[in-house]
Structure 1
Amino acid sequence: MSTSQLPIRFTLRQLQYFATVARTGQISLAATEANITQSTMTAAIAELERVLGTMLFERSRSGVTLTYEGHLFLQHAQTVLEAAADAARHPFRDRSTVSGTLELAASYTVLGYFLMPFIAKFQKLYPDVRIVPVERDREHIEASIEAGDIELAVALTSNLIEPKRLQRRVLARSRRQLWVAANHPLAELSQASLDDVAPYPYILPAVDEGDTAAMRYWSDAGMEPESFVRTTSMEAVREMVALGLGVTILSDMVFRPWSLDGRRIQTVTLKDPIPPMEVGLVWRKGHRLGPVASTLCKYLEVSVGAPGSE
């Protein structure tokens, strides 16, 4: 009996296309980013679903959202793509001589939804380095960086009160979309405006100043929702949205298509110019980072695909 392995049934390019569609939520936008036609992107995703024998996306007029199987496969796809990218960047990596401990400040959202996988991979590459993540709110991060008590932080740079007083390097920007229950009246819209959203109970997550950020872009539009519900729990936000008790506008970074009870949540793109959530590195202006902090900065810039410094 043959013991040979089964042939690989998909290519890195298909995985890249799949990950881009998952991130953008729209096949047309993913095709534009990948510099291919929409029909080519559609065919690539359909072929991937065929060889895997399952649907990876649910389609609607507002775009696409990952199925449960799609979410599981995305985790594998990202691991493969990250490994391939690292092999391309560092095909003959020498063992680093960098060593030491770095206390890295980060906010709740950054720790929970962004940073930890990168830290785990960094420490495998640099076994003599120990990164100690410390959760701090935005106010504490700004004050501690300026005072020199913390050398480096990864923060929501879009929330900084006086950003020009700090050195910043944006790592990622995550668009904000409307979250609604699958059976909500707004769920069938291809796009929604703040006018459409305003009549419904609006859920404000009081996590990482999410409520402050939300009220800022409502105020910039000269509007506000008719009623509010505040909560400090992201799982409560998901549950309330999934039960149809309200809607919210949050970033793709924290989006999950199910509540804890397995109820469906979907996103609708917004017509209004809502600013994205930004995550970035922050350190004291004029300060030269030490070897560990500098190495971590460079790693995150390359691994995340940093938009740039400010």
Structure 2
Amino acid sequence: MHRFTLRQLEYLVVCIDCRSVAGAAERLNVSQPTISVALSKLEDQLGVQLLLRHPSRGVTATAAAEKIVQSARNLLAHATDLERQTMDTGTSLVGTLRLGSFSTLAPAVLPGLIHQLSIQHPGISLRLSEGPQDRMIEVLCEGQLDMALLYDIDLPDEIHTTSLAQRTPYVALAADHPLAARQSIALADLVDEPLILLEVPPSKEYFLSLFRDAGLQPRVRHSSPSIEMVRGMVGWGLGYSLLVTRPEGDRTYDGHSLAIRPLRDSARPSKVVLARLATLRPTQLMTSFEAVAVRAMQA
């Protein structure tokens, strides 16, 4: 006989995510005493303390809770799958998928995927998050996301990935830059020019490593975590940039034209991947979205 219920596990997971019993009660639309009593009983049943209560500062997970929280998330997700299968006619999927994306990928990739998902699985809704890749990895590992669109760079071993596309770096120049007359450009041609660096991980380290691998040292003049800010400075002739994500249309927000040229050097390509925790078995929602993403981006 199991010593816990799915409801108790749900209360535990939501308390950890919200970092407070009050926040969990609000999200789940139950009273705080209901959650507190259920969790106290769960701790008694398992014989361990699961939450540290901090007066006026919410709760944090103990080491014991950290050991079981991912398994609890997996169990709850598949319980939801089972419930859905018993209620659905089998012709459609209904539910919410928590999807994250590296901020530079999101505007170039997500709208098309959302469109395809709405056609193929109209019952699936997405709860979207965007941010730096290291933050997306962090919340994915914490279980606050189901999946994330990332670049396959410096990913931890506990992340499972499905390849969606491969991108190669290119050179962005002002339209009237002297190097814009060339069909392709080598790193050696750029090394004495001012670089406008996309300063967001893992892009920053990736671009700098291209020079480092070639035995070159670029001249970084300006940097920004915003790809459109970088493109804007390039459009004003403040320098060149190396980028991977390419927005449709080579014109900046303020109307300047850019010259886009391939990088002549044999640079390492970047893979766009759909990532999830390797320790969690994917739900039907996750496998359905993965199939949509693969078809849409590999077509």
TM-score, normalised relative to structure 1: 0.63
How has the CA–CA distance of structure 1 residues 256 and 209 changed in structure 2, closer, same or farther, with 3 Å as cutoff?
farther
Q: Which position in structure 1 is the counterpart of 2:114? A: 119
Per-residue Cα deviation, 1:72-111 (whole angstroms, up to 9, x for no partner): xxxxxxxxxxxxxxxxxxxxxx994211111111121121
Q: For residue 212 of structure 2, what is the amino acid of its counterpart?
A: S
Which one of 228, 239, 242 corresponds to residue 235 of structure 1? Answer: 228
Per-residue Cα deviation, 1:245-266 (whole angstroms, up to 9, x for no partner): 1001112534641112222111
Q: Which position in structure 2 is the counterpart of 1:290? A: 283
SS of 2:118 mapped into structure 1? helix
Gaps of 5+ in 2: 1-88
The offset of 1:224, in angstroms, is 1.5
Whether 1:101 and 2:101 are equivalent positions in the alignment is no
Q: Distance in 1 between matches of 2:161 and 2:240?
A: 32
SS of 1:253 mapped into structure 2? coil
SS of 1:118 mapped into structure 2? helix
Q: For residue 251 of structure 2, what is the amino acid of its counterpart?
A: W
SS of 1:257 mapped into structure 2? coil
The offset of 1:146, in angstroms, is 3.2
Q: Distance in 1 between matches of 2:200 and 2:142?
A: 25
Q: Which position in structure 2 is the counterpart of 1:219? A: 212
Q: Distance in 1 between matches of 2:138 and 2:177?
A: 42
Q: For residue 272 of structure 1, what is the amino acid of its counterpart?
A: D
Q: Which position in structure 2 is the counterpart of 1:160? A: 154
The offset of 1:141, in angstroms, is 2.7
CA contact (8 A) 2:116 2:292 kept: no
Whether 1:169 and 2:162 are equivalent positions in the alignment is yes
Q: Distance in 2 between matches of 1:220 and 1:256?
A: 31
How many residue pairs match? The answer is 211
CA contact (8 A) 2:196 2:240 kept: yes
Q: Distance in 2 between matches of 1:119 and 1:95?
A: 22
Which one of 119, 127, 130 corresponds to residue 132 of structure 1? Answer: 127
Whether 1:251 and 2:239 are equivalent positions in the alignment is no
The offset of 1:187, in angstroms, is 0.7
| Percent identical | 23
Q: Distance in 1 between matches of 2:101 and 2:195?
A: 27
Q: Which position in structure 2 is the counterpart of 1:53? A: none
Q: Which position in structure 2 is the counterpart of 1:16? A: none
Please give the root-mean-square deviation of Cα atoms over the aligned residues, in Å: 2.2
Q: Distance in 1 between matches of 2:248 and 2:224?
A: 16
How has the CA–CA distance of structure 1 residues 128 and 109 changed in structure 2, closer, same or farther, with 3 Å as cutoff?
same
Gaps of 5+ in 1: 1-93
Whether 1:179 and 2:176 are equivalent positions in the alignment is no
The offset of 1:269, in angstroms, is 1.8
Per-residue Cα deviation, 1:208-231 (whole angstroms, up to 9, x for no partner): 532222112111112121343111
CA contact (8 A) 1:174 1:251 kept: yes
Which one of 170, 186, 191 corresponds to residue 193 of structure 1? Answer: 186
Q: Distance in 2 between matches of 1:112 and 1:208?
A: 17
Q: Distance in 2 between matches of 1:166 and 1:95?
A: 30
Q: For residue 154 of structure 2, what is the amino acid of its counterpart?
A: L
Per-residue Cα deviation, 1:285-309 (whole angstroms, up to 9, x for no partner): 1422111111000111112118xxx
How has the CA–CA distance of structure 1 residues 204 and 256 changed in structure 2, closer, same or farther, with 3 Å as cutoff?
farther
Q: Which position in structure 1 is the counterpart of 2:271? A: 278
Deviates more, 1:134-143 or 1:267-276: 134-143
Q: For residue 196 of structure 1, what is the amino acid of its counterpart?
A: D
Per-residue Cα deviation, 1:190-220 (whole angstroms, up to 9, x for no partner): 2211110011110001235322221121111
The offset of 1:114, in angstroms, is 1.1
How has the CA–CA distance of structure 1 residues 117 and 232 changed in structure 2, closer, same or farther, with 3 Å as cutoff?
same
CA contact (8 A) 2:116 2:296 kept: no
SS of 1:222 mapped into structure 2? coil
SS of 1:155 mapped into structure 2? strand
Deviates more, 1:282-291 or 1:194-203: 282-291
Per-residue Cα deviation, 1:42-79 (whole angstroms, up to 9, x for no partner): xxxxxxxxxxxxxxxxxxxxxxxxxxxxxxxxxxxxxx
